């Protein structure tokens, strides 16, 4: 590993430990030339994932988009950030476990809705109102009736 301070190619690992819930390895390194220390992270390279949108265009998968949708849906509700991140992690895990290169955005949306439905009914309705693009009050009320019937 090249030293970020002096550019020397020879560095040694002085400490290794798991990071990010055992999904990566954190390594403390020391440069043999300048003796400065720095940290690197080693992570498994994942399959590049492409999302197929409703209009059939394709774009690279972006976890931040799922996070934004979940966080907006849960805004001002008694839901912890940890719970929201756990939901996003579960959705992401389910997507990557399919081991496919392309995933429809509709699948991602349905997975988020399933998770929000279990987490908080108001957050679920907020997300559903945007995701399902309710055109009028009647379709919105139908979705609410589904929740109330459960």
pLDDT digits (tens, 9 = 90+) for 91-128: 999 998 888 899 999 999 999 999 999 999 999 988 98
Residue 135 lies in a domain: yes
pLDDT above 70 covers what percent of the chain? 98
Residue 28 has φ and ψ, to the nearest 5°, of -90, 130
Strands 37-43 and 58-60: unpaired
What 3-state DSSP class applies to 12? strand
Domain identity same for 39 and 54: no
Domain identity same for 63 and 124: yes
Domain identity same for 97 and 143: yes
Domain of 78?
50-149
- Burial group, residue 8, by CB count within 10 angstroms (0-12, 13-18, 19+): middle
Domain identity same for 94 and 139: yes
Beta-bridge mates of residue 59: 51
Instruction: Write down the pLDDT at residue 79.
Output: 96
Total domains in the chain come to 2
């Amino acid at each position: 590993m090249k030293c970020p301070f002096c550019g020397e190619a020879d560095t040694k690992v002085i400490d290794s430990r798991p990071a990010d819930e055992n999904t990566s390895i954190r390594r403390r390194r020391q440069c043999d030339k300048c003796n400065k220390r720095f940290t690197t992270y080693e992570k498994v390279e994942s399959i590049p994932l492409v999302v197929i949108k409703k209009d059939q265009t394709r774009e690279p998968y972006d976890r931040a988009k799922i996070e934004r949708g979940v966080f907006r849906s849960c805004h001002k509700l008694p839901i912890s950030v940890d719970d929201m991140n756990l939901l996003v992690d579960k959705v992401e895990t389910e997507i990557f476990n399919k081991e496919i290169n392309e995933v429809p955005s509709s699948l991602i949306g349905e997975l988020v809705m399933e998770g929000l439905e279990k987490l908080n009914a108001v957050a679920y309705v907020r997300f559903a109102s945007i995701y399902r693009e309710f055109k009028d009050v009647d379709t919105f009320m139908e979705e609410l009736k589904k929740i109330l019937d459960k």
